[in-house]
Amino acid sequence: MASPLHRFRQENPLVQQVNLLLPDLVGVPRGKRLSVQALERAAEGEILFSSTVYSLDTTGANVDASPLVWEEGDADRPVALDLATLVPVPWRPTQAQVIGGLTEPDGSPFFADPRAVLARVADAFAERELTPVAALEFEFYLLEGEGTPRPVGSGGPDGPAANIDVYRFERLDAQAEFFDLLDRYCDAQGLETKAAVAEFAPGQFEVNLAHGTDMLRAADAGLMFKRCVKAAARACGRRACFMAKPFSDLAGSGLHVHLSLRDAQGRNLFCETPDGEQAMRRCLAGMQALMAESMAVFAPNANSYRRLQPLSYAPL
């Protein structure tokens, strides 16, 4: 029987390069571009990468306080590929992409790999015969113009301010080329989108991804989706911006995580069991108790906090 890698090469004979995506701690895909021949070596664990990929801030600069930078001397570690994420890159017909993470030399997960951390969390739920169900919603701006970009449909830098016109279909229709490309890119990578809506500012949109019962795949889908959005925007002469608060006078953008929990019988633990309300209250209490620590994940950079204002649809 042909291996998944061999089968992929047979089905995608034009692919000559593979982008190795290593998600960092703030969700930015970093990594290296491999030849398709080198991918086979990578699949055997023969490719190394710098551990400092997990000690970078949002701008890609080292966080000097991390022991991975100076104390370890920028050490390399083996890369483990998840071949289930190997997909073509539709905006680059000769390229594919695959998601991976770093391991220790003995093959055990590296403590700083966010995918490995999430996999451990998923395993802990499975041991309790519980299944998290998650879906992601991404808000973003489409930008245009040279120099300082502005939201599409905003009336231009010297023109009158555009109306917000939230939820108007005409705003989606005006960006039909972008959304058609986005649908095609997502289909090519196996990403299921459910809906798109014009949001609460000119040029701001939201797209919903489908629910899934695999936490790791849901997170991978979010990473892949953002790449699709940025590629579709570039192809249309636009730029996509996922910053929390790119404009001081316009609405901020967020990532919404829809989460529920199923028991062994497939029931929603929060509303389809006798003590569903109490289970929900315990869940909320736990999130509240860990909120201060969780802000390092929810708001990983200075711009994140510019969104956290009263009367701004931010969770305050």
Question: Cα–Cα distance between 16 and 244 in angstroms, integer?
Answer: 36
End of a domain among 97, 126, 155?
Answer: 126
- Whether residue 84 lies inside any domain: the answer is yes
- The closest of 157, 36, 172, 176 to 94, measured between CA atoms, is 36
Do 111 and 256 have their domain in common?
no
Do 70 and 98 have their domain in common?
yes
Do 199 and 231 have their domain in common?
yes
Are 196 and 207 contacting, i.e. CB atoms less than 8 angstroms apart?
Answer: yes
- Whether residue 316 lies inside any domain: the answer is no
Question: Cα–Cα distance between 178 and 185 in angstroms, integer?
Answer: 11
Do 82 and 200 have their domain in common?
no
Question: Cα–Cα distance between 111 and 119 in angstroms, integer?
Answer: 12
The predicted pLDDT at position 314 comes to: 83
The predicted pLDDT at position 159 comes to: 46
Tokens coding 112:
């700083």
- Whether residue 85 lies inside any domain: the answer is yes
Question: Cα–Cα distance between 48 and 78 in angstroms, integer?
Answer: 4
The predicted pLDDT at position 65 comes to: 92
3-class DSSP state of 244 = coil
Do 70 and 208 have their domain in common?
no
- Whether residue 225 lies inside any domain: the answer is yes
The predicted pLDDT at position 148 comes to: 84
**CATH assignment at residue 156:** 3.30.590.10
- The closest of 52, 60, 48, 61 to 100, measured between CA atoms, is 48
Do 83 and 183 have their domain in common?
no
- Whether residue 311 lies inside any domain: the answer is no
End of a domain among 72, 103, 126?
Answer: 126
Do 150 and 242 have their domain in common?
yes
The predicted pLDDT at position 3 comes to: 82
Q: How many domains does the chain have?
A: 2
DSSP annotation of 107 reads: S
Question: Cα–Cα distance between 61 and 55 in angstroms, integer?
Answer: 8
End of a domain among 126, 157, 179?
Answer: 126
Sign of torsion over alpha carbons 100, 101, 105, 107: negative
CA 194 to each of CA 135, 141, 171, 191, 268: distance values in angstroms, whole numbers, following the listed order: 10, 19, 18, 10, 21
- Whether residue 313 lies inside any domain: the answer is no
The DSSP bridge partners found for residue 212 are 134
- Whether residue 185 lies inside any domain: the answer is yes
Do 161 and 301 have their domain in common?
yes
Provide the residue-wise pLDDT of the chain in tens; the chain has 316 residues.
568 888 999 999 999 999 999 999 999 999 999 999 999 999 998 999 999 999 999 999 999 999 999 998 889 999 999 999 999 999 999 999 999 999 999 999 999 999 999 999 999 999 999 999 999 999 999 999 887 889 998 765 544 456 888 999 999 999 999 999 999 999 999 999 999 999 999 999 999 999 999 999 999 999 999 999 999 999 999 999 999 999 999 999 999 999 999 999 999 999 999 999 999 999 999 999 999 999 988 999 999 999 998 888 887 7
Tokens coding 62:
């080292």
Do 136 and 110 have their domain in common?
no
In whole angstroms, what separates CA 276 from the centre of its chain?
Answer: 30
Contacts of 222 (CB under 8 A, 6+ apart): 27, 136, 138, 209, 255
Do 102 and 138 have their domain in common?
no
Do 72 and 206 have their domain in common?
no
- Whether residue 170 lies inside any domain: the answer is yes
**CATH assignment at residue 83:** 3.10.20.70
Question: Cα–Cα distance between 23 and 113 in angstroms, integer?
Answer: 8
Enclosing domain of residue 272: 131-306
Do 99 and 76 have their domain in common?
yes
